[in-house]
Structure 1
């Protein structure tokens, strides 16, 4: 004989939906508050400096710099905030033009390529600006500071290479 099994009480579907919506709203509020705390000027928190360092195309080079060197690069590049902001906005506009071209039906390869080339030109301009500021900073650093920078960069690159194996 088999013993009768007790059915587990089922949670009502409405309660599950309410809990899911509550979680979604809480995450939305948390994201908005976190984003507001991290947002600011390029010379603001370290998060903001790293955002500008990435915009300037320095990537791992910028991460290998110590905090003071990174701050000096950001200050140097940020001296003309209006032009920097205009370059960032132009890059955004070029990227949005690319998206619009990709969405077009029928697909226009030439328009898409032109929008992509415009985006590339803005990225190249920002990267040249960042590389110029990096070169100025490297010239001002002592040989010991440059060696420390190179060691941090090498360690970071080797760690990334090892992670990909």
Structure 2
């Protein structure tokens, strides 16, 4: 009985870690698209956990947030190469006969630290833009933010 419980816990842990890896991959892809410009003429979007905030920004304020991220040095070409290398290391760890949780977590923590730098930059830039807004601009921003939140996928029940 205890052996079945341990096996079940191990499977759950592997599924959880795999899910986290997939989430990091999606964030990496979204960041790459944002930094590479996306489609010509398309607005820049950052999916760094502040997605509704950045989408609610308009015009020059949106440009300022994007430029702050680009100028911060976060996600430089070397960082993107390192992210790709780390994702390959995660895949190799998952495919190994024996799962090395320590190696897997080490790579995930490196990825997390890399993304945290970008998130902090975006949050700082968004805060600075909001601080510079008049009361009327903040109210209009709040309306756009509320609209972005309505468009978000519904939470699972």
Same fold, judged at TM 0.5 (above): yes
Greater RCO (CA < 8 Å, at least 6 residues apart): 2
Instruction: Choose from 39, 42, 62 the match for 1:47.
Output: 42
Consecutive unaligned residues in structure 1, runs of 5 or more: 1-37
Instruction: Choose from 117, 120, 143 the match for 2:112.
Output: 120
Q: Aligned in 2, Cα 1:128/1:86: closer, same or farther, shift over 3 Å?
A: farther
Q: Aligned in 2, Cα 1:123/1:42: closer, same or farther, shift over 3 Å?
A: same
| Bigger radius of gyration | 1
Instruction: Confirm whether residue 79 of structure 1 aligns to residue 71 of structure 2.
Output: yes
| Match in the other structure for 1:61 | 53
Please tell me whether the aligned partners of residues 90 and 107 of structure 2 are also in contact (alpha carbons under 8 angstroms): yes
Instruction: Choose from 107, 111, 115 the match for 2:103.
Output: 111
Please state whether the residue corresponding to 1:152 is helix, strand or coil. helix
Instruction: Choose from 87, 90, 97 the match for 1:95.
Output: 87
User: What root-mean-square deviation, in Å, do the aligned CA atoms of Structure 1 and Structure 2 show?
Assistant: 3.2
Please tell me whether the aligned partners of residues 60 and 153 of structure 1 are also in contact (alpha carbons under 8 angstroms): yes
TM-score, structure 2 normalization: 0.62
| Match in the other structure for 1:157 | 149
